[in-house]
Chain A
Amino acid sequence: MIELVNISKSYDGKINVIEKLNLKINKGEIVVLIGESGCGKTTTLRMINRLNEPTGGTIMIDGQDYKKMSKIELRRQLGYVIQKVGLMPHLTVGKNIEMIPELKGWDKEKRKERAYELLTTVDLPPEDYYDRYPHELSGGQQQRVGVARALAVNPDIILMDEPFSALDPVTREQLQKELLRLQDELGKTIVFVTHDMDEALKIGDRIAVMKDGKIIQYDTPEEILKNPADDFVEYFVGKDRLWKSPEMLRASDIMHKSLITVGQRRTPAQVIEVMKEKDLETLFIVEKETSKPQPPIGYITRESLREQGSNESKMSDICNREFETVQHDSKMTDVLKIMDNKLVRSLPVLDDNGNLIGMITRASILNLITKAVVNEEENQ
């Protein structure tokens, strides 16, 4: 775990580039620092391995003040990957990876074994690549070597400073995917700096949005998308971003929250009145008409009521008890599938206890599209 406590940084002694910054990065998490250039994200990252020294505050690594270690020792415990890769051009790929192991005094056999292992991990066949020189490799391959080098002495923490920003979009996406795969396998703690929100949303377990040396919001990608802390975050995320990431949308984000239900003892005439008043085609039936959350019993449509005509039967007798439901955290893609396949008009959304908390109708989805396309402010 990395903990930045009240970190400040000033280059000239007057202006603070970083102002009393606090950040907690849990073990095994990918945390993305994002912001416009000059916001202090790279400075923050470089303070963790002491390439920049903070002017105030301290950094704790696994509960220990990081200054207890020598700079060299500290840096060898933290992998470091940078945008320009910075491979040593006079050394082969293998020797580049073996640099720190060699300085640490590993014997030749062990070094080579490790380099082979790591080249395999980053998907560069070692037989082909071990003896090549960096300039013979494409940008993407060079950065793979960069990542392998950072992993050489198996650090728990890896610092990455815009590692994929200089790559073409296809290669970038490939490496992003592989980073996530690597992360699944190795479970490192990764601090990742980028200015690309797409990348941040794709990679980050948590995202710290920075501006003027401060963290404006530190949250999961979903929270950042759905509840931006202020206008800057919202602007930075892009208003239509949520729509572009439908996998982030949950049933509870698109449902109508103003629930209209009727109790099971109501008669058809009463229910028709409610439907007329609220302009509804379908109503869900619950046990009692209270504001307390309760599970839905069934539903009734205006059409079926019309067929019934006016009589004294109760809703509990005539309602349709066969219906689809979704959980509040179901993905929107699943919701759409159900609505499409089953030709459902209204889909009740249930909480973890099976109680009705909202309703998704075709209209609510239309609303969402309208919001995205018209690019309006979100009202929830």
Chain B
Amino acid sequence: MNDMNFFQFMASRSDELIRLTIQHIQITGLAVLLAVMLGVPVGIFISKNRSLRSPILGLANVFQTIPSLALFGLIIPLLGTGYVPSVFVLFLYALLPIIKNTFIGINSVEESIIDAGRGMGMTTNQILTKVEMPLALPVIMGGIRISTVINIGTATIAALIGAGGLGEMIFKGISMASDNMVLAGAVPTALLAIFMDKVLGMVETKLTPIGITSQKDKAN
């Protein structure tokens, strides 16, 4: 099979591919969004609460270590198949990097800066919003970026429990022994991951305060 055939195949299936790609983005996007909404507050929470730190990080680690295929299988008795359980599993996968990075980001803010802030008369909330969060933001964004990239890959497996997305094309290709079809699912997935990584990388740079960026430039 030559390249032309692969691109011809892609072209002939373009409608389906676009639909699947959008679906793919929807599933991963929603999963990451939910993971951010829960993971960032949890990360902030454990950065302030020493005692709950290791149980929560441990729990999030557990989800990360269960093979994705198994987790998708295990969710069926609980939530059935389709969109919702898929998003839920992907959400669980996305949690750990986000919680961990939020925690690390906030924890790595230099103690003297916090001390100065407190000593000047900033409230705990003001320190969080005006000092800790802005300084932790690039690290948190890094966590979101990792979660997103991992999720775009993992989401192909979600097709197994009927979530749709580009995984559908891959599994169909495997069962029909069609390399073109497998590639037609895999290549856009990979491109999507690379693209999102770039975009989020840019967002990360954008969110990094100027004072920190130039500091890094200087260090380099």
Other-chain residue from A75, A88, A134, A135 in contact with B118 (beta carbon distance below 8 A): A75
Whether A135 pairs with B120 at a CB distance below 8 angstroms is no
Report Cα–Cα, A85/B123, bound state, in Å: 19
Q: Is A103 an interface residue (CB 8 A)?
A: yes
Report Cα–Cα, A71/B117, bound state, in Å: 13
Interfacial chain A residues near B134, Cβ < 8 Å = 90
Q: Is B51 an interface residue (CB 8 A)?
A: no
Least distance between B51 CB and chain A CB atoms (Å): 18
Whether A76 pairs with B112 at a CB distance below 8 angstroms is no
Interfacial chain A residues near B119, Cβ < 8 Å = 49, 51, 75, 80, 82, 159
Interfacial chain B residues near A168, Cβ < 8 Å = none
Whether A89 pairs with B122 at a CB distance below 8 angstroms is no
Known A-B contacts A90-B134, A99-B120, A100-B121; A82 and B112 likewise in contact (beta carbons under 8 Å):
yes
Q: Is B116 an interface residue (CB 8 A)?
A: yes
Known A-B contacts A51-B115, A135-B218; A89 and B120 likewise in contact (beta carbons under 8 Å):
no
Interfacial chain B residues near A73, Cβ < 8 Å = 121
Whether B122 pairs with A88 at a CB distance below 8 angstroms is no
Whether B211 pairs with A135 at a CB distance below 8 angstroms is yes
Other-chain residue from B118, B121, B126, B212 in contact with A89 (beta carbon distance below 8 A): B212
Interfacial chain B residues near A75, Cβ < 8 Å = 118-121
Least distance between B135 CB and chain A CB atoms (Å): 6
Interface of B is mostly: helix
Whether A90 pairs with B211 at a CB distance below 8 angstroms is yes
Per the CB 8 Å criterion, the residue count for chain A at the interface is: 31
Whether A86 pairs with B122 at a CB distance below 8 angstroms is no
Range, interface on chain B: 20 to 34
**Interface of chain B residues 74 through 121 with chain A (CB within 8 A):** 110, 112-121
**Interface of chain B residues 193 through 218 with chain A (CB within 8 A):** 209-212, 214-215, 218
Q: Is B131 an interface residue (CB 8 A)?
A: yes
Q: Which of A80, A90, A100, A136 has the most CB of B within 10 A?
A: A90
Interfacial chain A residues near B214, Cβ < 8 Å = 133, 135-136
Known A-B contacts A99-B122, A103-B126, A135-B211; A86 and B117 likewise in contact (beta carbons under 8 Å):
yes
Report Cα–Cα, A94/B209, bound state, in Å: 15
Least distance between A225 CB and chain B CB atoms (Å): 32
Interfacial chain A residues near B212, Cβ < 8 Å = 89-90
Interfacial chain B residues near A83, Cβ < 8 Å = 112
Other-chain residue from A76, A89, A100, A149 in contact with B215 (beta carbon distance below 8 A): A89
Report Cα–Cα, A87/B117, bound state, in Å: 9
Whether A149 pairs with B120 at a CB distance below 8 angstroms is yes
Least distance between B121 CB and chain A CB atoms (Å): 3
Interfacial chain A residues near B120, Cβ < 8 Å = 75-76, 80, 99-100, 149-150
Whether A89 pairs with B211 at a CB distance below 8 angstroms is yes
Known A-B contacts A92-B211, A133-B214; A87 and B116 likewise in contact (beta carbons under 8 Å):
yes
Report Cα–Cα, A340/B131, bound state, in Å: 62
Q: Which of A76, A88, A134, A135 has the most CB of B within 10 A?
A: A88
Report Cα–Cα, A306/B116, bound state, in Å: 76
Known A-B contacts A82-B116, A84-B112, A86-B110; A76 and B121 likewise in contact (beta carbons under 8 Å):
yes
Residues on B facing A (Cβ under 8 Å)? 110, 112-123, 126, 130-131, 134-135, 209-212, 214-215, 218
Known: A80-B116, A89-B209, A103-B122. 10 other contacts (CB 8 A): A72-B122, A75-B119, A75-B121, A82-B116, A86-B113, A86-B114, A89-B212, A90-B210, A90-B212, A134-B211
Q: Can you list 14 contacts pairing A with B, beta carbon distance less than 8 Å?
A: A51-B115, A75-B121, A76-B120, A80-B116, A80-B120, A82-B119, A86-B114, A86-B116, A86-B117, A89-B211, A91-B211, A100-B120, A100-B122, A135-B215
Residues on A facing B (Cβ under 8 Å)? 49, 51, 71-76, 80, 82-92, 99-100, 103, 133-136, 146, 149-150, 159
